[in-house]
């Protein structure tokens, strides 16, 4: 008789567990697509890194804005934007990125900071240092 009681108790536990599994009419909505893929054993896609814009203005041979040493995490997408009152060329040393800046306009250099180190950004013709980019 003890075996029958154990089987009945085990059956009652299983019925209780199945009754609360969430397949009824009151089930909660399915998770977000990222959660659904994680539930199937796949990791959700990583978020894209945020683009960092560094803005500099050159007037009368002097740079203002984000000058000096600018810290950037490795792998950061960058836009270096320079507004200048004279025609010149932006040059990011070490990454060998360049862009012409016509007088009185703004130009940009876009790249990903994927090499660690310290890199000068300058106006090439006037040799005006704009900033040092520290990537780590």
Give the integer Cα–Cα distance in Å for 106 and 131: 17
For 47-78, what is each residue's pLDDT tens digit?
Answer: 777 999 999 999 999 999 999 999 999 999 99
Provide the CATH number for the domain around residue 62. Answer: 2.60.40.420
Please indicate, yes or no, whether residues 58 and 121 belong to a single structural domain of this protein: yes
Please indicate, yes or no, whether residues 21 and 83 belong to a single structural domain of this protein: no
Which residues span the domain enclosing 113? 52-135
State pTM to two decimals: 0.65
Please indicate, yes or no, whether residues 25 and 61 belong to a single structural domain of this protein: no
Predicted confidence at residue 127, as pLDDT, reads 94
Neighbours of 95 (CB within 10 A): 20
Q: How many domains does the chain have?
A: 2
Please indicate, yes or no, whether residues 34 and 61 belong to a single structural domain of this protein: no
Please indicate, yes or no, whether residues 26 and 73 belong to a single structural domain of this protein: no
46: in domain = no
99: in domain = yes
In order along its 136 residues, the chain shows pLDDT tens digits of 454 444 444 444 444 444 544 444 444 444 545 544 455 667 777 777 799 999 999 999 999 999 999 999 999 999 999 999 999 999 999 999 999 999 999 999 999 999 999 999 999 999 999 999 999 9
Phi-psi region of 23 (alpha: psi -120 to 50; beta: other; left: phi over 0): alpha
Nearest to 130 by CA among 52, 58, 53: 58
Please indicate, yes or no, whether residues 67 and 31 belong to a single structural domain of this protein: no
Predicted confidence at residue 70, as pLDDT, reads 96
Predicted confidence at residue 44, as pLDDT, reads 77
């Amino acid at each position: 008789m003890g075996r029958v009681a154990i089987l009945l108790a085990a059956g009652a536990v299983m019925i209780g567990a199945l009754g609360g599994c969430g397949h009824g009419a009151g089930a909660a909505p399915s998770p977000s697509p990222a959660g659904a893929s994680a539930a199937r054993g796949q990791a959700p896609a990583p978020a894209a890194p945020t683009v960092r814009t560094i803005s500099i203005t050159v007037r009368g041979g002097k740079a203002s804005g984000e000058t000096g040493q600018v810290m950037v995490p490795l792998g950061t997408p960058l836009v270096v934007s320079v507004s200048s009152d004279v025609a010149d060329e932006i040059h990011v040393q070490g990454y060998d990125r360049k862009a012409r800046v016509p007088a009185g306009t703004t130009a940009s250099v876009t790249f990903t900071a994927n090499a660690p180190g310290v890199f000068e950004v300058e106006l090439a013709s006037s040799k005006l240092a704009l900033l040092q980019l520290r990537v780590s």
